[in-house]
Amino acid sequence: MEMAMSLRINNIRDNNGARRKAKCLGRGIGSGKGKTSGRGGKGQTARSGVSLNGFEGGQTPLHRRLPKRGFVNIHRMKMYELDFFKINRLVENKLISEGQVVDRDLLVEVGYMPRHAEGISLIANGEIKVPVKLAVTRASRRAKEMLEKSGGSLVLE
């Protein structure tokens, strides 16, 4: 009795469609892709390096027909969100001590905050275990209350 599909090195094949023959271009009129190689006549699109993305044959393209929407605030600061989980982790990993002031420079130095962030936003997420002194750009009201209740202090820069 023969094995229906024995897996041997001599009968391994690609899946159907995994390898396709390249089109043979510019090889005579009988090939179907001769002379202009399937690019039509002369002109811009017959040349290499042409991409007419969004071109609709002279009709006003869709991206110009639709109205502009929204607003981009050029003065927006890129903020780093600091919460009590992260502060507790810093203390546990001994990256900050109990009386130390935690500010932007310190967080960048220990590798907790990206250098491109312009400010720190303190949010009330988790519970603070150790009283710390924080120097942040902004803080939520609840985060401020929780920090002061634990014995920590907050300075807004």
What residue ranges define each of the domains in the chain, with the CATH number in brackets? 79-156 (3.100.10.10)
pLDDT tens track for 44-78:
888 888 888 888 888 999 999 999 999 999 999 99
Model's pTM, two decimal places?
Answer: 0.56
Q: How many Cβ atoms from other residues are within 10 Å of residue 133's Cβ?
A: 16
Q: How many Cβ atoms from other residues are within 10 Å of residue 84's Cβ?
A: 22
Six token digits for residue 109: 């130095």
Residue 130 pLDDT: 86
- pLDDT over 70, % of the chain: 97
